[in-house]
Amino acid sequence: MDLFEAQDKTRTLRANVEKVIKGKDRTVDLAVIALVSGGQLLIEDVPGVGKTMLARSLARSIDASFHRIQFTPDLLPSDITGVSIYNQKTAEFEFQPGPIFANVVLIDEINRTTPRTQSSLLEAMEEHQVTVDGRTYSLPEPFFVMATQNPIEFYGTYPLPEGQRDRFMVSVGLGYPSVETEKQIASDQMVQHPIETLEPVLSVEDVRHLQAAVRRVHVDADLLDYAVSIVHASRNHRALLLGSSPRGSLALVRCSQASALVEGRDFVTPDDVKSMARHVLPHRFVTRERSRTTPGDTAGIIAEILEEVPVPVRVGELQGEES
């Protein structure tokens, strides 16, 4: 898949999702970037703003299998990964796959279940496989997890451990729609929900090709240094107890490549890195003053870091010449 075909397919995918998700163009862009980057997406926002619809719209648009898992305190790891059941006829145990076996998996209220059940996702999110009773089973490709959690309601929740949050490549919020957009949403759903008539525009094979195309986007050596320097600066920031991990560096570079591809370029610019840093790194931070870090706590911190870390001059000059 060449650059122009890849850009055309991402544009088509975004436009199709926006038939359902109104007035949230940037959020849709970030969801598509996370998908074509091969990572996972964390949505931290209040109930009722369209988190489930975003996941369903993406799944329908790429003609992918979709499962929704509602996390509750009594949920067990086997309810997610599956279980081996003894077959009396064959005298053998047969594996029954759980809902994690889908191309797009929506995990609703991920922090409503216990750390034991949360940990059952770690292998799936990182290695795209699960291990049950000593046997390893591969998950379908592409494999894309979208998880939601409510940032304001903490009663009966279990904060996500750092290792869990670190496995999400991108974190976004949807936010409330504007008055005009909300009126349009209400009007569109008076007779039928737009999701019911949404048709696929890509295949899962197209998504695999897009993920391969992202890896071919050029990253200048100076921009690679810039991305890593941003991550290292987070580890030395006075307000942070814990900065970003090396996984954050990898995610920042990969998402910058995807951002460039979505914009129709085969090379990454400093603006790609700066834009994606705001959504790739803050959810990995742990502040010194609060035990429960929220997006609001870290948004200002990443802004400070981006101000302090110098942008590569040579790359910036080249970008200016090209524009």
Q: Please give the pLDDT value at position 323.
A: 44
Q: How many CA atoms lie within 13 A of 151 on its CB side?
A: 16
Q: Please give the pLDDT value at position 314.
A: 65
CA distances from 148 to 21, 46, 140 (A): 16, 9, 21
74 vs 315: CA distance, rounded Å: 52
| Strand residue runs (E) in the chain | 41-44, 66-70, 82-87, 92-97, 104-108, 129-132, 135-138, 144-149, 170-172, 240-242, 286-287
Q: Please give the pLDDT value at position 256.
A: 96
Backbone angles phi, psi at 306, to 5 degrees: -65, -30
Q: Please give the pLDDT value at position 302.
A: 92
1-210 and 217-323 in the same fold: no
CATH label, 217-323, candidates 3.40.50.720, 1.10.8.80, 3.40.50.11540, 3.30.70.260: 1.10.8.80
263 DSSP assignment: T
pTM: 0.88
Omega before 142 cis (within 30°)? yes
What is the residue whose two structure tokens read 């009396």? 88
CATH of domain 1-210: 3.40.50.300
Q: How many CA atoms lie within 13 A of 141 on its CB side?
A: 16
Q: Where are the domains of the chain?
A: 1-210, 217-323
**Below-70 pLDDT ranges, the chain:** 151-156, 289-297, 314-323
- For 120, the token pair is 């059952």
Q: Please give the pLDDT value at position 291.
A: 47
Q: Please give the pLDDT value at position 296.
A: 54
